[in-house]
Amino acid sequence: MSERNPIELFRKVYDAAVATGMRDPNAMCLATIDPDGGPSTRMVLLKEFDERGFVFYTNLESRKGVAIRSNPNVALTFYWRELQRQVHVRGVAQPVSDAEADAYFATRPRGSQLGAWASLQSRPLKSRMALLLEVARIEGRHLGGAIPRSPVWSGFRVVPHAIEFWKAGAFRLHDRRLFERIEGGWRETRLYP
Ligand SMILES: Cc1cc2nc3c(=O)[nH]c(=O)nc-3n(C[C@H](O)[C@H](O)[C@H](O)COP(=O)(O)O)c2cc1C
């Protein structure tokens, strides 16, 4: 895996992770900075990636949504135990287009579409019953018909400016390759483990 392009290298590693049959190879830890300057993290699912960046979907009014609105600098970490590999990404979260979000929302299971409308993600919930009643209410509104995307549910593309590949080595002599974006391409640096 000696690519000079970190996105192509990421694709190889990611494909290898998928090929292991592991659960949720697309799970990644997303770190954001809250409006008060404090960090927060949570897992999200990578839904697409290419030269432009790494895409995930969420509720725009969730804690992470609010954080990104006030500070779009984010970091991602992938860990694939089966491969003994880790990837870090640092970048800027940019909203995906409405058309892109609509297209992805349309592929989601109906239950997930209803959930996207019903969940005021990250805000206090009185009881689980209140959530289930809300799902039922929204289902009643759309009986049989297509469910449009909620205006507060969309995606972000993390446009990377640094991507680091970590591979476990014997005696903790791990292999670390850092790619940093420079004019017209990427600069690669090896790091001590
Ligand atoms: C494996 C895994 C994948 C997840 N994927 C997503 C996701 O793609 N989008 C999302 O909004 N929440 C996802 N969640 C839930 C988040 O981790 C988190 O609980 C939720 O988004 C609220 O986060 P916030 O309060 O920091 O905004 C996932 C959780 C796990 C454990």
Instruction: Return the percentage of the chain with pLDDT > 90, whole number.
Output: 93
Note the pLDDT tens digit of each residue in 21-63: 999 999 999 999 999 999 999 999 999 999 999 999 999 999 9
Instruction: Please give the model's pTM, rounded to 2 decimal places.
Output: 0.96
How much distance in Å is there from the Cα of 78 to the middle of ligand 1?
14
Please check whether residue 171 lies inside any domain of the structure. yes
CA dist 54 to 46, 108, 147, 156, 179, Å? 7, 19, 26, 8, 15
Please check whether residue 25 lies inside any domain of the structure. yes
Residues of the domain holding 185:
6-108+151-191
Kindly give the number of the ligand 1 atom that is closest to the alpha carbon of 122. 25
Please check whether residue 31 lies inside any domain of the structure. yes
Kindly give the number of the ligand 1 atom that is closest to the alpha carbon of 43. 17
Please check whether residue 90 lies inside any domain of the structure. yes
For residues 44-74, one letter each, b for 16 or more C-beta atoms within 10 angstroms of the residue's C-beta and e for the rest, the string is bebebbeeebbbbbbbbbbbbbebbeeebeb
Is the pLDDT higher at 123 or at 171?
A: 123
Note the pLDDT tens digit of each residue in 124-146: 999 999 999 999 999 999 998 99
Closest residue by CA, ligand 1 atom 13: 44
Total domain count, the chain: 1
CATH number for 75: 2.30.110.10
Q: Could you tell me the pLDDT band of residue 4, with boundaries at 50, 70 and 90?
A: confident
Question: Which DSSP string do the residues of 155-186 spell out, in sequence order?
Answer: EEEEEEEEEEEEE--GGG--EEEEEEEETTEE
Judge whether residue 1 has pLDDT over 60.
no
Please check whether residue 141 lies inside any domain of the structure. no
Side-chain half-sphere of 95: how many Cα atoms within 13 Å?
15
Please check whether residue 28 lies inside any domain of the structure. yes
Helix (H, G, I), strand (E, B) or coil at 148: coil
Note the pLDDT tens digit of each residue in 61-114: 999 999 999 999 999 999 999 999 999 999 999 999 999 999 999 999 999 999
Mind telling me the catalytic residues?
A: 172
What pLDDT does residue 171 have?
Answer: 87
CA dist 181 to 30, 68, 76, 185, Å? 20, 21, 16, 6
Q: How far apart are CA 36 and CA 170, in angstroms?
A: 41
Give residue ranges with CB within 6 A of ligand 1. 24, 27, 40, 42-45, 56-59, 62-64, 121-122
Q: Could you tell me the pLDDT band of residue 170, with boundaries at 50, 70 and 90?
A: confident
Q: Which of 32, 42, 47 to mutate to test the pocket of ligand 1 (most atoms within 8 A of CB)?
A: 42
Asked whether the beta carbons of 105 and 167 are under 8 A apart, the reply is: no
